[in-house]
Amino acid sequence: MGSRIPSHQLSNGLYVSGRPEQHKERAPTMSSKAVPYTGGDVKKSGELGKMFDIPVLDKAPVPRPSNSNPNSNSGPNRTPTSSNPNSSSGPLRKSSGPLSSSRQHSGSLSLQPTGLITSGPISSGPLNGPRRPKSGPIEPNKVAGYGASITSLDAGDGGLRFKVPKLVVWVIVAVFMVALVVGVFMLVTVRKPIILFVVAGFSVPGIVMLGWNFAWRRKGLMGFIAGYPDAELRGAKNGQYVKVTGVVTCGSIPLETSYQRIPRCIYISTELYEYRGLGDKPANSHHRCFSWGLMHLERHAADFYISDFQTGLRALVKAGYGAKVASFVKPSTVVDVTKENREVSPTFLHWLAERNLSSDDRVMRLKEGYIKEGSTVSVMGMVQRHDNVLMIIPSSEPISTGCQWKSCLLSTTIDGLVLTCDECSSGDVIIPV
């Protein structure tokens, strides 16, 4: 006896097998209205704004424009027209500046227009690109065209000073004053000037020796540098003070002289001097009459490489980025304006105009020195090794030359990286003006 398969009839009259489905009570559906696009504004995001104590803006629904408006556009990508510049709806919103609608709130949180929560201001962080430099005067170590990668040198002797203890100086001055007072007293009371003769006998040689040292201390230093033995870079230890002589090559930033436009230099110097006669204006505060005074100076040095003559090893000399450098390079005269020849070339006039310098009825002399790539240079500095890179850096302490008794020269000190070159711009090459 076969079993009967139950079947039932659908509402459209079709018979299907199986029992009819029992109607279950459906859960009531909640009506929802379309949420307007907020454009990332937290004040229009409802509960998210309340979490950070931000007042929520309750705006009345904006009525939809009728179809009779010729400017209405259908579609989701609507751009705000000029009649409503403050509208924030639409994904294609334009702003007058980058992140112009950002808002800062209390605490360390920053709420951006995108709705993201960050821990710092918008201007911070590597994702916002490099910061623009602030307007203002250029720093002393930043030169137009080079930036802060080079070193601007002053008009001094590179920190050349006498190494005499202050105690010795004060003792000598005290003894001299006491002897002078006693001599004057003996001369007034006893009428015997013998003590004054003794004081004069000791003071005159001392004054002569000081004058000799002031006049010849630079040559004494050059003699000390020339007699200092060259070191081998291969066996030099880290922190050792050495002298290296070799051929130089430019680093990442080569220099160029400002007047003659000589390219690929590691050191450049352009000096403008003015002669001061009786009644003329001084070129600087230390300019005396009937002498040449420095009116303008451009002296720069940059990082370069030197190849040791003895071992052939190459080292990086850190002379840029504001390092202490004592340069002893003799410049040559390239322009000489005298009283007999006051005609100035257009090139020299243009050079003066670029630097806001006047040439009205003045006796001037322009000197330029440089060390070009391929020249033989002597460098004195301290060895430093870093990640298999051999470098020569300025010494942390001044170097003393010691007393040179044969030349009657006192001990002098030199501070920084010592840079000398004898074969570059050693002769005067006067360019006719």
Convert the pLDDT of each residue in 372-383 to its tens digit.
999 999 999 999
* Cβ proximity of 263 and 254 under 8 Å: yes
Question: Looking at per-residue confidence, does 204 or 264 come out higher?
Answer: 264
Domain boundary among 186, 214, 242: 214
One-letter amino acid identity for 25?
E
246 and 375 part of one domain: yes
pLDDT of residue 36: 56
Stated pTM of the model: 0.61
113 in a domain, yes or no?
A: no
Q: Are residues 210 and 295 in the same domain?
A: no
- Kindly report the average pLDDT of the chain as a whole number: 74
DSSP run (H or E) holding 333: strand 332-337
**Residue 290 and residue 412 share a domain:** yes
Is residue 387's pLDDT more than 80? yes
Residue 51 has pLDDT above 80, yes or no: no
Residues 182 and 273 in one domain: no
What would the mean pLDDT of 297-305 be, rounded to a whole number?
A: 95
Are 251 and 391 part of one and the same domain?
Answer: yes
pLDDT score of 95: 40
Nearest C-alpha neighbor of 157 from the set 430, 408, 401: 401
Mean pLDDT of 259-287: 91
pLDDT score recorded for residue 379: 95
Domain that holds residue 168: 164-214
On whether both 280 and 332 belong to a single domain, the answer is yes
Q: What percent of the chain has pLDDT over 90?
A: 28
Q: Say whether both 202 and 350 belong to one domain.
A: no
Alpha carbon of residue 364 to chain centroid: 32
Give yes or no: residues 288 and 321 share one domain.
Answer: yes
**pLDDT computed for residue 35 by the predictor:** 55
* Beta bridge partners of residue 386, listed in sequence order: 389
In this structure, the answer to whether residues 362 and 301 fall within a common structural domain is yes
3-class SS of residue 207: helix
Residue 151 placed within a domain? no
More confident residue, 30 or 68: 30
What is the torsional sign of CA 287, 290, 295, 297? Answer: negative
* Closest CA relative to residue 355, chosen from 302, 298, 282: 298
Higher-pLDDT residue of 24, 302 = 302
The answer to whether residue 315 scores a pLDDT higher than 80 is yes
Of 146, 181, 214, the domain-final residue: 214
pLDDT above 70 covers a percentage of the chain that reads 66
pLDDT at 293: 92
Sheet (strand 332-337) strand order: 151-152, 291-301, 265-276, 364-372, 332-337
Residue-level pLDDT at 79: 41
Residues in CB range of 277: below 8 A, 6 or more apart = 289, 290, 363
Quote the pLDDT of residue 28.
Answer: 56
Q: Are residues 288 and 396 in the same domain?
A: yes
Average pLDDT estimate for 79-94: 42
The reply to whether 168 and 256 lie within a common domain is no
Per-residue pLDDT, 3: 55
Residue 94 domain flag: no
pLDDT for the residue 34 = 54
Residue 29 is assigned to a structural domain of this protein: no
More confident residue, 55 or 220: 220
Confidence of residue 5 (pLDDT cuts 50, 70, 90): low
Rounded Cα distance, 261 and 145, in Å: 14
Q: Is residue 227 part of a domain?
A: no
pLDDT at 428 over 60: no
Confidence check: pLDDT of 316 > 90: yes
Residue 97 has pLDDT above 70, yes or no: no
Q: Is there a domain that residue 366 lies in?
A: yes
- Whether residue 24 is predicted with pLDDT greater than 90 in this model: the reply is no
Q: Using CA atoms, how far apart are residues 40 and 102, in angstroms rounded to an integer?
A: 10
* pLDDT > 80? residue 116: no
Q: Is residue 225 part of a domain?
A: no
Domain count, the chain: 2
Query: pLDDT at position 410, please?
Result: 84
**Do 199 and 343 fall into the same domain?**
no
Q: Is residue 102 assigned to a domain?
A: no
**Distance linking the first and last C-alpha atoms of the chain:** 134
Q: What is the pLDDT of residues 157-207, one digit of tens each?
A: 666 777 766 777 788 888 888 888 888 888 888 787 887 888 788 788 888
Query: Which DSSP symbol is given to 404?
Result: B
